Amino acid sequence: MQELAHQNIAAWDSLYGSTGELIWGKEPASFIERYLPKLAENLDDSSLILDAATGEGRNLPALRHLKGRLMACDASENALAKIPASIRENISLFFCDLCRTPFSDDFFDVVLLSDTLETLPDPGLALAEVARILKPGGRLLINIPGEEDEIAGIDMSPLEPGHLYRGRFFYRFLGEEEAIALLESAGLLILESELSTWLEEAHPHYRTGDHRHTSRIFLAQKSSKT
């Protein structure tokens, strides 16, 4: 599993370094804006917000609407280097593996994990790390696609327990029950969930043609200490 994880990180870093274009575009994932009011509850200027696995930073402009200090991390140095200067101002960037971050326990008030969990060979380990760095009562917004996603299986070869897209990029599509079990095992309480579909434009050097994503969106909260 560890070797697969290292190979996967290297594949993504190579992709980001292969082009000067923004692979994911500039627009934030479409579901984020409608959850901002829920994420904003109880935040103030001292709050800490993390865009985990930020990639090229497409979701950072949306998160700027939240009060507090905004940070972002990614396991790809090439991805972090491509975050536009207009976005990165006053944002702290960290190069790290999502499964082993440098942050203290109970650190963040809000974490966003967008379009990421399905690309990780060990999603449970990543969620455990997210739960560790969330404050008690802190909130996680995450999308987790299942087999109903339009891209599931396309140009993918089977690899237990998931798939390899174009022979390089790991994907694992999780059913609703499995996704819920992973979140709950990490100590995260699900506050809201919905199945959402949206249109994505083609991703240069990665996926040709417009396509639809269908994903279950979860708003979860770390259990408060008693």
Residues 98-110 pLDDT 10s: 999 999 999 999 9
| Domains identified in the chain, total number | 1
Whichever domain contains 217, its CATH number is: 3.40.50.150
**Does residue 225 sit in helix, strand or coil?**
coil
Cα-based angle 88, 145, 15 (whole degrees, multiple of 5): 45
Mean pLDDT of 15-30: 96
Strand order in the sheet with 92-95: 92-95, 69-74, 48-52, 108-113, 134-145, 211-222, 188-200
| pLDDT in the model for residue 1 | 78
Q: Where are the alpha helices (DSSP H) in the chain?
A: 2-17, 32-40, 60-63, 77-81, 85-88, 123-133, 176-185
Q: Please name which of 64, 207, 48, 61 lies closest in space to residue 138, comparing C-alpha atoms.
A: 48
| pLDDT in the model for residue 112 | 99
Q: Which structural domain, as residue segments, surrounds residue 128?
A: 2-222
Please report the DSSP string for 18-54 in residue order.
Answer: T-SS-TT-SSPPTTHHHHHHHHHTT--TT-EEEEET-
Token pair for 49: 């917000």
In this predicted model, what pLDDT tens digit does every residue of 52-88 receive, in sequence order? 999 999 999 999 999 999 999 999 999 999 999 999 9
| pLDDT in the model for residue 225 | 64
| pLDDT in the model for residue 36 | 98
- Per-residue confidence at 167, pLDDT binned at 50, 70, 90? very high
| pLDDT in the model for residue 226 | 38
| pLDDT in the model for residue 47 | 99
Report which residue type is found at 188: L
Give the separation between CA 106 and CA 208, rounded to whole angstroms.
Answer: 40
| pLDDT in the model for residue 224 | 82
